[in-house]
Every structure is written in C-alpha cells, then in structure tokens.
Amino acid sequence: MSATFTVRLQRPGADPVQFEAPPDLPVLLAAERAGIAMESSCRNGTCRSCICLMDAGSVAYRIAWPGLSLDEKREGWILPCVAHATADLQLTCPL
Ligand code: FES
C-alpha cells in the first residue's frame, strides 16, 4: 500500500477540513472518499470550477495540460479533479 498525503482544505465560510489523499487518486476524489464535497463539474481538467490555490505542498498531473496558464501554475493554482498529491497539501478553495 502506498503512502498517503494529508490535505488541509480551507473554503469560504467553513472551518478547515483535513483528509488523506493517496498519490494514485486525484485530490477531488480523495476528498469525496473522505465525505468532503468539493466544487466540480467536468472532472477532466477543463472547466476550472474546482480551482484551488495551493498554499503549500506539490501536485502532479497525468494529463498533458490541465486548464491552467503557466502563470497560474506558478502562482500555485491547481485543479484538484486532475491533480495528484505528491506531498502534504494546504489548499484554499474560492468556491
Ligand atoms: S472539475 Fe472541471 S477542471 Fe476540475
């Protein structure tokens, strides 16, 4: 069994929540597995409805180019529906 990473998630008007994310599961699905609903629509890295700011940690994508600009990636924006944790994460989600 592979190691999991801890994700701490802050959403507007809600207390922070924490869940475990295995590296083989997108962060969004790991949240749902833990009973935490995150904003989403397409679930394939296109619509950006799941976008969150990564305040700490790192992620990897298994699709060639998720719907983020290079500047957005540099600023720390991620798309949890297609992002796999590669370290413990601290996320702030605007929705
Ligand atoms: S749900 Fe559409 S980009 Fe994540």
CATH H-level, domain 5-92: superfamily: Beta-grasp domain (3.10.20.30)
Query: What's the confidence (pLDDT) of residue 24?
Result: 95
* Distance in Å from the first CA to the final CA of the chain: 33
Query: What's the confidence (pLDDT) of residue 65?
Result: 80
Measured from CB, residues less than 6 Å from any atom of ligand 1 are 40-43, 45-50, 67, 79, 81
Choice from 27, 39, 50 to test ligand 1 binding pocket (greatest atom count within 8 A of CB): 50
What is the C-alpha separation between 58 and 30, in angstroms, rounded?
A: 15
Residuewise pLDDT in 10s, the chain (95 residues): 568 999 999 999 989 999 999 999 999 999 999 999 999 999 999 999 999 999 999 999 998 888 999 999 999 999 999 999 999 999 999 98
Could you identify the atom of ligand 1 that is nearest to the CA of residue 47? 2
Choice from 32, 40, 65, 95 to test ligand 1 binding pocket (greatest atom count within 8 A of CB): 40
Query: What's the confidence (pLDDT) of residue 64?
Result: 83
